[in-house]
Structure 1
Amino acid sequence: MATDTLAPAARDERRRPATLLAVVAVAALLALAEHEVVAGRFHTALAALVTWTPALVESLWVNVEISLIAIALGTLAGLVLGVLLVSPLWPVRVVTRAYVQVFRNAPLLVLIYFSTYVFPFEIDIGHVSLPFPDWIKVTLGLALPASANFAEIFRGAIQSIPHAQWDAARSLAFSRTQIFRWIILPQCVRRMLPPWMNLYASITMATALASLVGVHDLLDTAQVASNTVARADFTVVVYFTVLGLFFVYCYPIARLTRFIEKRHAFS
């Protein structure tokens, strides 16, 4: 029993050197690039990377903004859908289940193209035409699977609450709404948080597909940089940098998720 308890901690200890090595490697790469720029060797791939790094970092925030808005919309919609999935009315459950199954199992790229061409390019309000940007369409396209997946997360959290708590609340004359608000939801939050964070990380990585429909995001900037510099070695370096930037943003989310899971497991 003691061995099982220490096993996760031991695995974490083994992972720390690998994580530290990755950080040291990235720092060494940046230091080498800066040295080449200072030395005047602007023709190398690493020197070109230094020139393009500010643009790459700035464009990463486009992906972050899309992911934050998409997960916010998906969470709000998923809260409603999750309640409908456990509705006592079977027609409501059937319709909601159909929505969840369709958007959980649809490819993300298909949903992005779907939202890009279904929604108009301009919205006419009276005599004024307002543009409907592509990044908003991509956000809506990612919010659809986010809402379906979070609905399942919410439904699972609700059904994980012992049924005896429902019976005890009803015996105290609580209404169904009061039971949800004051008894069920507070307990669901801890259960939903780790899978919700995993869902957010997945949505963040899926924002790289936005470049396929004309959004000037991190991947699109990397493509522009690669075409501008026109060097095979720089193309490899710039796409490794894209991987690194996504890793730097998503890895702390994964670590925090594991921490919350462990804390919940032993609480």
Structure 2
Amino acid sequence: MSAITLHQEPRSRRVSVPTATFALTLIAIVLWLVFDPSLGQVLLQWLPYLGKGFSMNVLISVCAISLGTIAGVALGAMELAPYKFIRVPAIAYVQIFRNAPHLVLIFAATYIFPFELVIFGNYVPFPDWVKAVVGLAIPASAHIAEITRGALQSIPTTQWEASQSLGFSRLQSLRWIILPQCIKRSLPPWMNLYASITMGTALASLVGVHELLHSATDASTAVQRNDFTVVVYVTVLMAFFLFCYPVSRYTQRLEKRFALR
């Protein structure tokens, strides 16, 4: 028992590197703003503008992961289909877009889709942020397809045999018996992917989407102070960190919990 106690005490005092880095950065910024009150006042004036931009990042990430999840689950099931004409296109899609750069796909979606849509004779603008959603949803669907495929293959074949013996078709077995068991296996990597997609939303600024990075650039250009430029871009970094780091930590907790079970 004493050996176990000695082994656990250092672990309880350990501080992770990202947490320590964030804490030191936050302390440095606070001290900087305290010794330069004018800089802090300027930053406070721009915070609502930056917050509005970050809300666009969150909206794009939520929409992209939602579309990617719907398409990815279907593609993951198609990869294991017994028919070759269903399985091969799904595998090709996953292999191509899982390794494609996000920025390239965002630019492709921006130029492939029109700037306006004609609906009943009326011209309706096609927003750039929707194109960014499509550009990020494509690689997200490819990654989720692989996550789904791995989760489906981890289910024992006896589950399929038992459901067939009860009179379920293959689709019914997949919908009501197999997929619910895949949720716990898929949730940790899905959350990691969502954090990655959220950080990738900053690339949308390059195609004109008014998100956080774009807002920070506008603020830096308007104020034209080198010290404010540093502070505003560190604020962008902190915003993404505060949003993504809890997701990463919770993912680690889920992985440990499911591993113990």
Superposition TM-score, scaled by structure 2 size: 0.90
Structure 1 position 27, deviation (Å): 6.1
User: SS of 1:48's equivalent?
Assistant: helix
Q: Look up the match of 2:186.
A: 192
Contact 2:54 2:211 in 1 (8 A): yes
Provide closer, same or farther for how the CA distance between residues 7 and 182 of structure 1 changes in structure 2, counting only shifts above 3 A.
farther
Mapping 1:103-142, distance limit 5 Å? 103-142=97-136
User: SS of 2:123's equivalent?
Assistant: strand
Provide closer, same or farther for how the CA distance between residues 94 and 13 of structure 1 changes in structure 2, counting only shifts above 3 A.
farther
Provide closer, same or farther for how the CA distance between residues 18 and 70 of structure 1 changes in structure 2, counting only shifts above 3 A.
closer
Contact 1:33 1:50 in 2 (8 A): no
* 2:33 counterpart of 1:33: yes
Distance 2:208 2:59 in 1: 16
Structure 1 position 100, deviation (Å): 0.9
User: SS of 1:71's equivalent?
Assistant: helix
Provide closer, same or farther for how the CA distance between residues 218 and 87 of structure 1 changes in structure 2, counting only shifts above 3 A.
same
The C-alpha deviation readout for 1:223-245, integer Å capped at 9, x for no partner, is 11111122222222211111100
Provide closer, same or farther for how the CA distance between residues 171 and 12 of structure 1 changes in structure 2, counting only shifts above 3 A.
farther
Structure 1 position 246, deviation (Å): 0.2
Distance 1:23 1:143 in 2: 33
Give the letter aligned to residue 226 of structure 1. S
Out of 223, 226, 234, which is 1:229 matched to? 223
Q: Look up the match of 1:15.
A: 15
Q: Look up the match of 1:160.
A: 154
Structure 1 position 160, deviation (Å): 0.6
Q: Look up the match of 1:99.
A: 93
Q: Look up the match of 2:174.
A: 180
The C-alpha deviation readout for 1:61-94, integer Å capped at 9, x for no partner, is 1000000001001101111111111111011110
Give the letter aligned to residue 191 of structure 1. R
**Number of residues of Structure 1 aligned to a counterpart in Structure 2:** 259
Distance 1:213 1:12 in 2: 45
Give the letter aligned to residue 180 of structure 2. P
The C-alpha deviation readout for 1:140-172, integer Å capped at 9, x for no partner, is 111111111111110110001112222232233
Contact 1:78 1:147 in 2 (8 A): yes
Provide closer, same or farther for how the CA distance between residues 7 and 17 of structure 1 changes in structure 2, counting only shifts above 3 A.
farther
Give the letter aligned to residue 177 of structure 2. I
Distance 1:17 1:110 in 2: 32
Distance 1:259 1:116 in 2: 38
Distance 2:11 2:128 in 1: 43
Give the letter aligned to residue 143 of structure 2. N
Distance 1:86 1:7 in 2: 45
Q: Look up the match of 2:242.
A: 248
Q: Look up the match of 1:148.
A: 142
Structure 1 position 208, deviation (Å): 0.2
User: SS of 1:257's equivalent?
Assistant: helix
* 2:83 counterpart of 1:86: no
Provide closer, same or farther for how the CA distance between residues 165 and 263 of structure 1 changes in structure 2, counting only shifts above 3 A.
same
Provide closer, same or farther for how the CA distance between residues 263 and 130 of structure 1 changes in structure 2, counting only shifts above 3 A.
same
Identical amino acids, percent of aligned pairs: 53
Give the letter aligned to residue 26 of structure 1. L
Distance 2:217 2:24 in 1: 27
Distance 1:237 1:66 in 2: 25
Out of 56, 59, 75, which is 2:50 matched to? 56
Gapped runs of 5+ residues in structure 1? none
Gapped runs of 5+ residues in structure 2? none
| Cα RMSD (Å) | 2.6
User: SS of 1:15's equivalent?
Assistant: coil
Structure 1 position 12, deviation (Å): 6.5
Give the letter aligned to residue 33 of structure 2. A
Superposition TM-score, scaled by structure 1 size: 0.88
User: SS of 2:168's equivalent?
Assistant: coil
Distance 1:9 1:194 in 2: 28
Distance 1:95 1:194 in 2: 27
Structure 1 position 126, deviation (Å): 2.1
Structure 1 position 26, deviation (Å): 2.2
